[in-house]
Structure formats: C-alpha cells, structure tokens
Structure 1
Amino acid sequence: MPNLVLPPDAPSLADAVAQAVRDGVAAGELVPEVTYSVYQLAELLDVSRSPAREGLLRLAEAGLIEIRRNRGFRVLPPQAHDIEEIIGIRLALEPPAARAAAVTGTDDQHTAIRAALAAMATAAAAGDEAAFWPADRTLHDLLLHAAGKPRTAAIVERLRTTTALLGPPTTASGRSLPEIHAEHEPVVAAVLARDGAAAESAMRTHLEATRDLLVRRAGELSEGPATIGP
C-alpha cells in the first residue's frame, strides 16, 4: 500500500480518511492504474472499515474515485470535460480574487506573495519540482487569502488535487518549470503594483493556458487499470 497519513485535525474519521486519500493522490502515492483494497486502507490508517468506507463514499460522490464492489477502489483520472469544468470553476473564482488581492491585500500579504514567487523562481532554476509545486500552491493560496476568500482557497486546493491525477504538472501541461513560473510573474507584478484589472487579466490568461494544455493531456491519457490484492 502507499504511504498515507491520517490528518490529526479533521472533523471526523471519515473526513480524515477522505483527506488522507486526497493527499495521497496529490503526492502521487495513489495512481489511476491500480485498484486499492479498502481493508488495507483501513489498516494502513489505523481506522475501522466503517469510516474508511464512508470517507471513500464521499470521494466517489465527488468523482475522485470509483468504488469497485468486492474489489476495492481506484482513483479516476479526469476526462477532458472534467478539466474544462474544473478550470471553469477556477476561472470564476481566481481572476476576481487576484483583482481583490491587488486592491485590498495588506503590505504583509503582498510581501508573502512576493516571497512565494521568489521561491518558485529558485526552485525552477534548480529544476527542483519537489520545492516548486508547494511554492506554486502557496502562491495561489496566498492570493486567495489576500482577497479575503479562505473558503475559496479550500475549494481551489481540492480542485487542484483532481487535476494532479493527470501526472506531474510539467508532464501534464507540457511546460517547463521556468515557463510556469513566468506565467505567474505578471500576476504577482500586477498585484504588487495594486493594479486590479491587470492582476485579474493575468490570472485569467494563466488559467486559460493551463486549461487548454490539461485538456489535451486528458485526451491523451488512456492507460487501463491494474489490480492488486483484495
């Protein structure tokens, strides 16, 4: 079984199981090609089968996994229409938030945003994907919090977990780390200049480019599932 960790601060065991699976997907510990045992998942997370099943049912309802009767569950790679819907939601949320972050964000929040972009630049120059993607997520999260939208930040993080199933973002999008960093530069520059319109436009351009590339990747992804023990 993969390396999964039960988060200690979830509202319930079922929520904790769901979050552990989401985190496993985001970290590449759970992959679409494999059918995983519910019993082994419960044992790995040291919970009973009831909250394990309940947590998985929540993920199945969200379309993140498929429960296979008497066999276990498998992670579902998103289809092209899933990507279009996910990025469509992000386009409705993040460009206006970038505008708000530019206009109403505090100086301290802007400093943190600048630091996140700098961390992305350092990781990109070193080819360090393990450092780059946390900095990328942090930057988007900071922008949403600077806009005063913590609930939106949580929604976006869950949506990003689904698109992570397409594989490493450099592979999924066909862009290098420096290219992805470069797409974020005009967003941050506009935010720091307190130019709300430019920040919104730059974020929209970034997300639309991401959508187009991920939709193409989803269309190319055609591996079938394998199976492991019961």
Structure 2
Amino acid sequence: MRTSGVAVVTGANRGIGREVAARLAARGVTTVLAVRDEARGQEAARGMTGPVVVRRLDVADPASVGALASWLAAEHGGVDVLVNNAAVHYDTWQSAADADLRVVEEALAVNVVGAWRMAVALAPLLRPGGRLVNVSSGAGSFGETGSAGGAPAYSVSKAALDMLTVKLAADLRRRRVLVNAVCPGWVATDMGGAGGRPVADGAASILFAVDVPDDGPSGGFFRDGRRIPW
C-alpha cells in the first residue's frame, strides 16, 4: 500500500475522484486535488485528513496543464501517482447514428486528449516506481458492451483511453512506471446516477492500480483487482 509520495487526482472535487484523493491523503500521501473550480475543490478538501493541496486544472487547456506541471516540478520535484479521473458526458440520451458531434468532440477532448495531455506533461516528473491510472469504464469495453447502444460519446472515448493505456504502458515501462486502466463499476455519483454501488467501492477499484507492486501488471484493464476484457 502506498503511504508516501505525491499523487495528482484530476476531477477530484466530487464522486470517485474525491474519494480516491481522500483515501490517499489519509494514508499520508501528499495529494493534489486538481479541479476546474478551486472553490469547489476547497470545499471537497474540507474534512479530509492528511496532506491535501487544491490546484486549478482544466485538462482541455494546454496552458492550465502546463502550469500545473511547472508548479509540481517547482514545489515537489516529481510525482509518484497520476490518476486521470476527469471525464464528461455520460450521454445516455443519444445514439451513435444521430449523435450531437459537439458532445462527442467535448468527450474526446476531456476523456482522451485531456488524459493524454496530462500523461505527456507529467511523464517527465513521474519517478521510478510511479503509477499512472486511467479511470475507464466497461462502457468502453468491446467484450462487455456487445451490441448495446447508448452513451456513444462516452463509450468511444473510454475505448480510446484504453488503447492509450496500452501505449503509455509500453513507453513508460523502461522507467519502471506502471500504467493501467480501471473500471470503477457503476457507482452512485452525479455522473453515474442513483442505483449504483457505493463510491467507496469504486475508489477501492482504482486504488488497486495505485497499489500494485513493482512486479505487478502494466497495460491491463481491471475492475476490483480482476482483469476485464478490452
């Protein structure tokens, strides 16, 4: 279990991201809540125990990502964990055949390119033994989705994030940084809606990838510590 170092969690002001950040901070990990709205980030940080820092971040804005990377380098000299959790548009209201492509473009910009941008910016800062976790979804799994429709922008973006995970894992292996994608399951959050499992269970699924040992998997797709199909 990781109990020290520096972790960055994007989209950490609510839901699964907040729970992951809170758990890391409680362990003693210096945890950066990277959020678009600093006021909401400060509100989310209240009640957390351990070292917590709130920083503004818009993963779709190169300047914002660059500013965070520069601050991390200056203040901490490196990063041990990056959790790419920020995501938008669980678009269950539309289908692929008549999708609003503006929604699709926004989903790709945040869910894929935003995560990619964070990986590129922070890769030079990731210390040996670091972990990069992409929060994905079974909605983007060919093996789980089958012929189901719905949420096309979200599903396509998460499928692309899975491929990005494989590519990053190959590139960062030589630096002893492990990269995995994790599905937290259907969780009762603002995005997931009511009826899902507790946020704590989804966070635990993500923390599995944060805590994998140095000889653990990289380039895989997991839920609750078990591999799931791409």
When normalised by structure 2's length, the TM-score is: 0.31
Structure with the higher helix share, 1 or 2? 1
Structure with the higher strand share, 1 or 2? 2
Bigger radius of gyration: 1
When normalised by structure 1's length, the TM-score is: 0.31
